[in-house]
Structure 1
Amino acid sequence: MNNSLLIATGAALVLWGCGGSQKGDTAETTMVTPQLTQVWKTDTVFTGSESTLYDPSADVIYVSSGNTNAGDKDNDGFISVMNTDGTIRDLKWVEGNLHAPKGMALLDGKLYVTDIDEVKIIDVASATIEKTIAVEGAVFLNDVATDGQQVYFSDTRAGNIYALAADGSYTIISENAGVNGLECHDGHLFALDGEGLKKFSKDGEYTQEVINTDVTGGDGLVIINDSTFVASRWHGEIFFIRGNETTVLLDTQADESNTADIGFVPDQKLVIVPTFLKNEVAAYELAY
């Protein structure tokens, strides 16, 4: 791992000169050492809280739970709705016909959720599962992402990334061992897998580029901009990636508190962390 930012933890700011000031024709711009500060944490009201997703149109956070036995079809899964201050609006907003829901993505008023070997499509307005798509050969479906037109989802144990069409058909677009976290930004798909963080581009076929090898086996992914990312590992680590620098933001492994599929509230710079086996959701303010 690149340790240059870790070594600098004793200094809060890094300063450099750039043009435009009245004194010596230079001005100072500051770069803050990235850090997380806990803002709130819920009670242990979830069961295997695995994924969080912020909905800017409603200013709420969705939470997928029921992952104590993450591969069992036991019908104990549910989706919750939370406010951004940590209060719970509806603990079991959608339940029934959900087993171990994991990743989520919103597109055109629908919430797409992976559930072991199926993708469930929830109509947000009516809070009902309106369609279930069985995925042939699926082993452990995990994260979901959308670029506003296309929905993508991953199968961690099979090592596949799928593209889902509007008619419910799907195709495997890439095979990547241990692939989990997905996110889209500026027309590109990004993925966390056993090799690190990858960027996918489509020009007829999908091509991939490895852009970070420090965070292998990652779970959740937040994209701040083209070169700035926040990534989590399930075991209890959250990383900040800026260019070629990687910083450990949070390590809760000693507390056996997981950091699963994280979400992000941009206006408040809140990283939303589902703690999985701790059955909580925590929020941390990100400074960077």
Structure 2
Amino acid sequence: MKNLLKYSLLGISATLLFSNCGPQKTEEVVEEVVEVKTPTLTLLWETADSLMTNESVLFDDATGTIFVSNIEGQDPLGKDGKGSIGIISKEGKIVNPAWVSGLNAPKGMAISNGKLYVTDIDEFVEIDIATAKVSNKWKVEGAQFLNDVAAHNGTVYFTDMTTGKVHAYADGAISTISEGNESINGIAVATDGTIYGLDASGLKKWNADGTTTVLNTNVTGGDGLVILGDGNFIASRWQGEIWFANDSTQTLMLDTKAAESNTADIGYNAAEMVVYVPTFFKNKVAAYKLDY
């Protein structure tokens, strides 16, 4: 009985030995390929070319109105009283080419508490939207080239490209909140109050202590800035470029330099994902569908 048990155990051991020495089954590893979508802009429409030297477009989310600032001349610093604010429709029709006139060289715009705020060389202009009348003007001390504008919770921020300053208007008073920003132009404010801007260093944000952090050093010298959310932005360069950018990458979505069509201070309809592009010397606004 002992021998039988011994040989039985030896047989089991041999079977296990040969089993372990045989070819092993391997699990097939399938790598998931994640397709990265390239952001694109597709032309939807263009207005007639009668919005003279249009510099900025602002879409009003509340009413669907599209405002256009028109310098109406060759000199972005010319104090000639020819500047105006026009209105166009979402279909690209010019509703009123001079809704408000008598300005000089109006540029960036923002809406706050029923007022349209516009930069005009060295003045900060308040327009009452309901009456289409200029309700106030402030001469900004030391200002040389006031440019883009953004609003958040009753405060209106605006830049001076030449002096490198960022100003803020609130409760009837103007203050300077940042200095030393070389060629600062585009500005935008997130829903949480964080300020973002475009200057010679690139795409930057303001920290709670007033310091700045550059998020993208490649998108430099930008004009218009749109916050898309999730760390993504659209930035335009006046020369004829529109970029999709975040803190690690950038994609050139539109290049109109060969056509000598500028891409100045862009506007954005977030609900329909439409980018409005003022073409400056081409005297028309172009609308593009954003896909990303």
The TM-score bracket by the shorter chain reads 0.7 to 0.9
The answer for the alignment partner of 1:223 in structure 2 is 227
- The whole-number CA distance in structure 2 between the counterparts of 1:272 and 1:29 is 31
Q: Output the aligned Cα RMSD.
A: 1.7
Please, which runs of 5 or more residues in structure 2 have no aligned partner? 1-30
- The whole-number CA distance in structure 1 between the counterparts of 2:56 and 2:231 is 23
Report the Cα offset of residue 124 of structure 1.
0.5
The answer for the alignment partner of 2:271 in structure 1 is 267
Describe the SS at the equivalent of 1:119. strand
1:254 aligns with 2:255: no
Aligned partners of 2:49 and 2:284 also within 8 Å: yes
The two structures have a TM-score, normalised by structure 1, of: 0.87
2:56 alignment partner, one of 37, 48, 51:
51
1:87 aligns with 2:93: yes
Describe the SS at the equivalent of 1:254. coil
2:195 alignment partner, one of 189, 198, 202:
189
Describe the SS at the equivalent of 1:268. coil
Report the Cα offset of residue 33 of structure 1.
1.4
1:124 aligns with 2:129: yes
- The whole-number CA distance in structure 1 between the counterparts of 2:278 and 2:216 is 24
The two structures have a TM-score, normalised by structure 2, of: 0.86
Structure with greater Cα Rg = 2
What letter is aligned with 2:204? K
Higher alpha-carbon deviation: 164-173 or 98-107 = 164-173
- The whole-number CA distance in structure 1 between the counterparts of 2:229 and 2:164 is 26
What letter is aligned with 1:178? S
The answer for the alignment partner of 2:65 in structure 1 is 60
- The whole-number CA distance in structure 2 between the counterparts of 1:268 and 1:151 is 25
- The whole-number CA distance in structure 2 between the counterparts of 1:181 and 1:113 is 14
| Count of aligned pairs | 261
Report the Cα offset of residue 169 of structure 1.
2.8
The answer for the alignment partner of 2:175 in structure 1 is 170
Q: 1:267 to 1:30 in 2, by over 3 A?
A: farther
Report % sequence identity.
Answer: 47
What letter is aligned with 1:155? D
Following TM superposition, the consecutive aligned residue runs of length 4 or more in structure 1 with deviations greater than 2 angstroms are: 26-32, 168-175
- The whole-number CA distance in structure 2 between the counterparts of 1:31 and 1:267 is 23
1:208 aligns with 2:212: yes
Aligned partners of 2:216 and 2:246 also within 8 Å: no
Report the Cα offset of residue 27 of structure 1.
9.8
User: Would you tell me which structure has more strand in proportion to its own residues?
Assistant: 1
- The whole-number CA distance in structure 1 between the counterparts of 2:52 and 2:227 is 27
Describe the SS at the equivalent of 2:136. strand
Aligned partners of 2:215 and 2:246 also within 8 Å: no
Aligned partners of 1:163 and 1:173 also within 8 Å: no
Report the Cα offset of residue 87 of structure 1.
1.1
What letter is aligned with 1:106? I
Deviations 1:50-102 (A, max 9, x none): 00000011111100002531101011100011111111221111002x00000
What letter is aligned with 2:211? T
The answer for the alignment partner of 1:142 in structure 2 is 147
Please, which runs of 5 or more residues in structure 1 have no aligned partner? 1-25
Aligned partners of 1:161 and 1:175 also within 8 Å: no
- The whole-number CA distance in structure 2 between the counterparts of 1:211 and 1:99 is 34
